[in-house]
Structure 1
Amino acid sequence: MGVSTAAPDEGVSVVNVDFPPVNALPVQGWYELAGAVRAAGADPKVRCVVLTATGRGFNAGADIKEMQRTDGHAALVGTNRGCYEAFAAVYDCEVPVVAAVHGFCLGGGIGLVGNADAIVASEDATFGLPELDRGALGAATHLARLVPQHLMRTLYYTSRTVTAQELYRHGSVWRVVPREQLTEAAMELAREIAAKDGLLIRLAKAAINGIDPVDVRRSYRFEQGFTFEANLSGVSDRYRDAFVASRSSEGGGGE
């Protein structure tokens, strides 16, 4: 359980997330993920990082139960900062990051894959931001990197999800494969990237980030301010309480 790192192939580092039952990450989990991705990218032997997850789905966002059982705003602030660090770690990783997505990718999961360099998904993968239904806001910055603007807004306002195949048609998913082929498909792409010169691939990552039209760190931080405003108004607690009550047997949820 937790975040682990492996090196199955030369030049490739695999960072795996495992927080049962649904990969809804606690505050510390986001920081662990950020640290693992940053460390992998800083390793001069690594030329590509693969981000994977164990269990029912890739990521269900933040652990809402942790927020609800913590007095005051400490868990909310910790979650905001932890998500910010994890998303930034993926974006700022010195080498390309390939996200291997299966099952659900919700809330914070969108922040991770939206900042990744490439996405390989299984046929059962779904992507979405249920933030409004959870009393939160955020990660529209990252959803906008996966779908066109008007679709992003519609998905955000409705809390609907889209399939891996739909994202493939929009060009944001590289390949869609059967679930049992996901790991190998992600590794195949990672090996192709890792075959490049280590210095050149790092320069390429820095150059591509440098020409991005949107500063994803600043944009996401701006969104987070509205999440805190929603909490101060009291509306967030009502939605989180209702969500926790309806999912008490499963634990966690999207942020």
Structure 2
Amino acid sequence: MGENPIAEVVIDFPPVNAVPAAGWQSLADSIIAAGADPATRVVVLSARGRGFCAGVDIKEMRRDTSHETLLAANRGCAAAFAAVYDCPVPVIAAVHGFCLGGGVGLAGNADLIVAADDATFGLPEVDRGALGAATHLARLVPPQLMRAMVYTCRPVTAAALHRFGTVHEVVPAAELPAAARAVADAIAAKDPVVIRRAKESLNGIDPVDVKRSYRFEQGFTFELNLAGAGDRARQRFEEGR
């Protein structure tokens, strides 16, 4: 086994891991670089701080009177989600605390999710005047629940996803790094050529093109912003309403 068979990419944007526009592309670049290293057999995507990911940085978007930050964030999200999906080796998402919006995009495209028992998953996009990542939520919950979660913005627990089989394991928060590492070790012990071909083959039989469907969703976010609904929702968010 190579010197660094398990690569870790860490989301770290204090205080709540609301990722700025440039941060999404940086995250994509880190995942791509980890997967491109021939020594890498598994990538673990984890986070520091209070939660895994709070999605895009709404306050950054509000400070920009143009649409440049919105466009950059949408391009960056698409790149980061695609980097997880296209990574030539399996990606394990180690999720703690809140996993919202873009966090669902990352975790939903991962090959496996190991979660802390305090983890929750949700799409508050409707309350933010945006749409997106239902593509990835649909990989985690049944269709009717996915629709209910989009319309109501209600999150679900890691325990619920474990019952669906879409979260591999739920552990106490203090045990999350070790649990994710144990799963990564088990995969890294396999023949790396076979594992890489397995990842490629599984992506090839997916019934939905996750990159294309996500970009389709993003088109409605542009429409909502042109209609003014996005600005109104972001103002309500910033005002705490």
Q: TM-score, normalised by structure 1?
A: 0.92
Paired position in structure 1 for 2:173 = 179
Paired position in structure 1 for 2:108 = 114
Answering whether residue 68 of structure 2 is matched by residue 74 of structure 1, we say yes
Q: Which amino acid aligns with 1:90?
A: V
Paired position in structure 2 for 1:5 = none
Two-structure CA RMSD over aligned residues (Å): 0.9
Paired position in structure 1 for 2:189 = 195
Paired position in structure 2 for 1:232 = 226
- Are the aligned partners of 1:44 and 1:198 in contact in 2 as well (CA < 8 Å)? no
Q: Equivalent residue of 1:114, what SS?
A: helix
Paired position in structure 2 for 1:100 = 94
Q: Tell me which of 27, 35, 40 is aligned to 2:29.
A: 35
Paired position in structure 1 for 2:126 = 132
Please give the alpha-carbon distance, in whole angstroms, between the structure 2 residues aligned to 1:65 and 1:47: 37
- Are the aligned partners of 1:134 and 1:236 in contact in 2 as well (CA < 8 Å)? yes
Paired position in structure 1 for 2:153 = 159
Please give the alpha-carbon distance, in whole angstroms, between the structure 2 residues aligned to 1:130 and 1:178: 25
Structure 1 residue 71: deviation in Å? 2.1
Answering whether residue 130 of structure 2 is matched by residue 168 of structure 1, we say no
Q: Which amino acid aligns with 2:87?
A: C
Please give the alpha-carbon distance, in whole angstroms, between the structure 2 residues aligned to 1:192 and 1:11: 11
Q: Equivalent residue of 2:74, what SS?
A: helix
Answering whether residue 60 of structure 2 is matched by residue 53 of structure 1, we say no
Structure 1 runs not aligned, ≥5 long: 1-8, 248-255
Please give the alpha-carbon distance, in whole angstroms, between the structure 2 residues aligned to 1:244 and 1:79: 18
Q: Tell me which of 183, 204, 210 is aligned to 2:204.
A: 210
Q: Which amino acid aligns with 1:146?
A: L
Q: Which amino acid aligns with 2:46?
A: T
Ranked by relative contact order (alpha carbons within 8 Å, sequence separation 6 or more), the top structure is 1
Structure 1 residue 198: deviation in Å? 1.5
Please give the alpha-carbon distance, in whole angstroms, between the structure 1 residues aligned to 2:127 and 2:65: 22
Q: Which amino acid aligns with 2:204?
A: G
Please give the alpha-carbon distance, in whole angstroms, between the structure 2 residues aligned to 1:236 and 1:73: 11
- Identity percentage over the alignment? 64
Structure 2 runs not aligned, ≥5 long: none
Structure 1 residue 32: deviation in Å? 0.6
Q: Equivalent residue of 1:46, what SS?
A: coil
Q: TM-score, normalised by structure 2?
A: 0.98
- 4+ residue runs over 4 A deviation: none
Q: Which amino acid aligns with 1:80?
A: N
Answering whether residue 58 of structure 2 is matched by residue 64 of structure 1, we say yes
Structure 1 residue 81: deviation in Å? 0.3
Structure 1 residue 10: deviation in Å? 4.0
Q: Tell me the matched-pair count.
A: 239
